[in-house]
Structures are given as C-alpha cells and as structure tokens.
Chains A and B, each alone.
Chain A
Amino acid sequence: MSDDAIRKRLREFVAKNFYMADASSFDDTSSFLDRGIIDSTGVLELVSFVEGEYGLAVADEDIVPANFDSIDALAAFVARRTAKTTS
C-alpha cells in the first residue's frame, strides 16, 4: 500500500470520526494534540483504528507522539509496520 493511500485513509478516518466543522482546517503535519483535534480518548480511537484497519498489533511503547501526533507521523508508522509485516 502506498504512503499516499495510507495518508488518505487516515485523513478520512480522522475527519469522519472526530467532529470538525471545517475538516480542511488541519493538514497532514498538524499536531493532533496541540491543535486539540484529539484527546486521550482520541488516541485510543486512533490506535484501535490502525490495529483494525491494517491488522497491526500496536505495543504500548509505540503509542508516542512521534508515531501518533499527526497524519504524516501515523502514516509513516503504519507504512513502516506494514512493510515489516509483509517482508
């Protein structure tokens, strides 16, 4: 799966799952936490989504801002982990 396809799917999920009156107000580099787009429950929802959508087992130590705080970060994490799973 291409990085672009992952990014598009994540963006769809975030826009659909977390209510935003104007979904265009955040881009792929926007910090979810700093922008208040998601809270701790939202993190749980992102983890659950990538586990279900991509068949990944996300370990506690993976749930860090470097992996989960923007569309770009999460897409990179999913791409790394799916590449590892399929290689």
Chain B
Amino acid sequence: MTFSLDDLRLGDRAPAELDRICAWLRETLQASKRRGLVVGLSGGIDSSVVASLAVRALGADRVFGLFMNEGESADDTARLSKLIADHLGIATANEDISPILDAAGCYARRDEAIRSVIPRYAPGWKCKIVLPSLLETEQLRVFKVVVRSPDGEELSARMPPAAYLTVVAATSFKQRTRKMLEYFHADRLVYAVAGTPNKLEYDQGFFVKNGDGSADVKPIAHLYKTQVYELAAHLDVPAEIRARPPTTDTYSLPQSQEEFYFSLPYTGMDACLYARDHGISAAEVAAALDLTPTQIERVFKDIDAKRAAAKYLHAPPQTLAI
C-alpha cells in the first residue's frame, strides 16, 4: 500500500479520541487529588487545544488560563490568547514576565553574548538564531545569529559555542519563568499544570527542561501536529488561531519552527516521524512529500539525532538504588 499523509490523520476516530483524552484527564486529576488545570496560553494551536480539552473534560470553572507575555512576544500573542480564553469562558490572570526576565538578566546576558559575535548589535536591534535548511545540502547544521537594526539592516554570523550556549541558556529564562508562574497559580488553586507539547515537540525534545517541558499532564503529547489541528476543528477553536503559522515566539525577530529546530514544516515532519516509527521507506515518504529519498534520509538522521539528545531532557533526576 502506498504511504499517504492521510495515514496519520485521525479522521473518523477524532470524536472517540477526544472522549478518550477527556476521560483520562478526569481520572488523572482525581488520582492526583488536584481540583482543576492551569494552562499557559500563547495564542497558538497547541495551548488552545489543551485549554479546550480541559474545559471539555472538567468544565470552564475548573480551568485557569495564564497570559504570560513579555516585551518580545509577537504582536498577536496577547490578542489570540485572550480570544481563546474568552471563547472558552475561563478565568485568567495576566502576568507580564518582562520585569522577572530583566531582573534575572535574561536580556542582558543574551545581548552580551550576541555582541561578542556582532559588536554593532545594540539596544533597539532585534535578533534570532537560525539553522540552515537540511534539504538543500548535506551540511551539518550549526546555528547562526541574525540581527536586524532599527532601520532594517540585517547581519548574520556563525556562533562560537560559548556564545550560542549562553544565548540559549539566557533565553530559556522565558520558558522557566512561565512555568514558575503556572505552578504559583496551580499551588494556590490546588490545580495541576497542563503541558502543551504535541508529539513532534515531545519526541524530538523541542522544549526547555524544567521550562515548558515541565507539567503534571501532557494531554496532546501523543498526537502529531496534524492530529492536533484536526482536534482543534472538532473542539471549535477559533479559525484565526487555527490559521496562525506555528512560531517559537521566543526571539525578538519572527522565527519559524523550521528555522530553529525542525527540518520541514509540520506536515512533512509528522510524515517523517510517522514513517520512521512504522518502517516506511524514505522513497515512499519522498513520493508523498514531493522530495527526494536523499532528502528524507537526511530528515530521518536528524530525527534519530534529536531523539537521542532528548533522552536527557526527558530523564527524571537519577538516583542510586539502595
């Protein structure tokens, strides 16, 4: 049988999957003696679907949404986060995390590291880090920093290891600060914290350890992004949120998930991850995605490498046996 992108769609199984997730959420909450769920809202598809699932499982009065914007959040993050919260009718709190990030040195440490690579980088400039496309070349992927001046001049440079690691470590204050606030509200409400990774992100380690990777329940971590979009339609998530392109919303310059982490847009990544786990050949996936088998082999290798690196991210603290 020929592989098709439809193979990983839920299709008719979507309503049953919704029921299964909601039943599991109720059971899990009951077992952990928590009374509701806190969900950090980003205005993206994943957190909107998790919040919608939580409301469907528990009722709106047992779901608490958090807006945790900072000075570098995308322009539409605040508006779309409020859109889903209003749509669901859940209680919310607005936590501007910029002062915490500032006090922790998130911006200052990151900017100093960038200036060590591009000395002209100054206040008012914007930045992101990017990876080269894996499709066009067999080049090993190493990060570059891209900066843009207020008048639009763009510069980029390969990052020395220390600068790259410092930029990532400093930027991770954002995810870790958000998680700290989620647990503040969860503790005062006796709620659990819901994580929002989909299968791609969870499997491939696209999260910050003890940041967005931390949660009590992860209701969509078993679902391909394609399937999350399917559930979004069944859950009546507003069309504007379903149409928003996935973004990291972590750096001051717009950054797609392909630029920063994944090799392909999510439909292609879903297909490759599914194929990798179901013994489907690179040639079959290549035909379905209109790419070459060589390109798919590169994606397979990248999947394997990221999966290996993610082991550390998933590991609980290690202890010696008595």
How far does the Cβ of B239 sit from chain A's closest Cβ, in whole Å?
37
Given contacts A36-B308, A60-B158, contact A44 B138 (CB under 8 A): no
Residue contact A64 to B140, C-beta cutoff 8 Å: yes
How far does the Cβ of B211 sit from chain A's closest Cβ, in whole Å?
18
Contacts A41-B165, A63-B139 known; list 16 others, CB within 8 Å. A36-B308, A39-B305, A39-B308, A40-B140, A40-B142, A40-B305, A44-B142, A44-B158, A44-B160, A44-B164, A48-B161, A60-B139, A64-B138, A64-B139, A65-B138, A65-B140
How far does the Cβ of B137 sit from chain A's closest Cβ, in whole Å?
7
Residue contact A43 to B140, C-beta cutoff 8 Å: yes
- Chain B residue numbers with a CB within 8 Å of A65 are 138, 140
Q: How far is the CA of A47 from the CA of B143 in the complex (A)?
A: 12
Q: Who on chain A is nearest to B302 by CB?
A: A40
Quick one: which of B303-320 are within 8 Å of A by CB? Answer: 305, 308-309
The 22 sampled A-B contact pairs (Cβ below 8 Å) are A33-B140, A33-B301, A33-B305, A39-B305, A39-B309, A40-B141, A40-B142, A40-B143, A41-B165, A43-B141, A44-B160, A44-B161, A47-B158, A48-B161, A60-B132, A60-B139, A60-B142, A60-B158, A63-B140, A64-B137, A64-B140, A68-B140
- Chain B residue numbers with a CB within 8 Å of A28 are none
Q: How far is the CA of A6 from the CA of B85 in the complex (A)?
A: 61
- Chain B residue numbers with a CB within 8 Å of A33 are 140, 301, 305
Q: How many residues of A contact B (CB 8 A)?
A: 16
Residue contact B161 to A41, C-beta cutoff 8 Å: yes
- Chain A residue numbers with a CB within 8 Å of B161 are 41, 44-45, 48
Is A22 at the interface (CB under 8 A from chain B)?
no
Q: How far is the CA of A36 from the CA of B139 in the complex (A)?
A: 18
Is B74 at the interface (CB under 8 A from chain A)?
no
How far does the Cβ of B172 sit from chain A's closest Cβ, in whole Å?
14
Query: Which secondary structure characterizes the binding site on chain A?
Result: helix
Residue contact B142 to A63, C-beta cutoff 8 Å: yes
Query: Which secondary structure characterizes the binding site on chain B?
Result: loop
Is B159 at the interface (CB under 8 A from chain A)?
yes
Quick one: which of B130-154 are within 8 Å of A by CB? Answer: 132, 137-143
Q: How far is the CA of A28 from the CA of B1 in the complex (A)?
A: 43
7 closest A-B pairs by beta carbon, nearest first, are A45-B161, A44-B161, A43-B140, A44-B142, A63-B140, A48-B160, A39-B309
Given contacts A63-B140, A64-B140, A65-B140, contact A41 B164 (CB under 8 A): yes
How far does the Cβ of A52 sit from chain B's closest Cβ, in whole Å?
9
- Chain A residue numbers with a CB within 8 Å of B165 are 41
- Chain B residue numbers with a CB within 8 Å of A68 are 140
Q: Who on chain B is nearest to A40 by CB?
A: B141
Quick one: which of B196-252 are within 8 Å of A by CB? Answer: none
Quick one: which of A29-47 are within 8 Å of B by CB? Answer: 33, 36, 39-41, 43-45, 47
- Chain B residue numbers with a CB within 8 Å of A53 are none
Residue contact A61 to B305, C-beta cutoff 8 Å: no
Q: Who on chain B is nearest to A49 by CB?
A: B161
Q: How far is the CA of A48 from the CA of B117 in the complex (A)?
A: 13
- Chain B residue numbers with a CB within 8 Å of A45 are 161
Q: A68-80, CB under 8 A of B: which get 1 and which 0?
A: 1000000000000
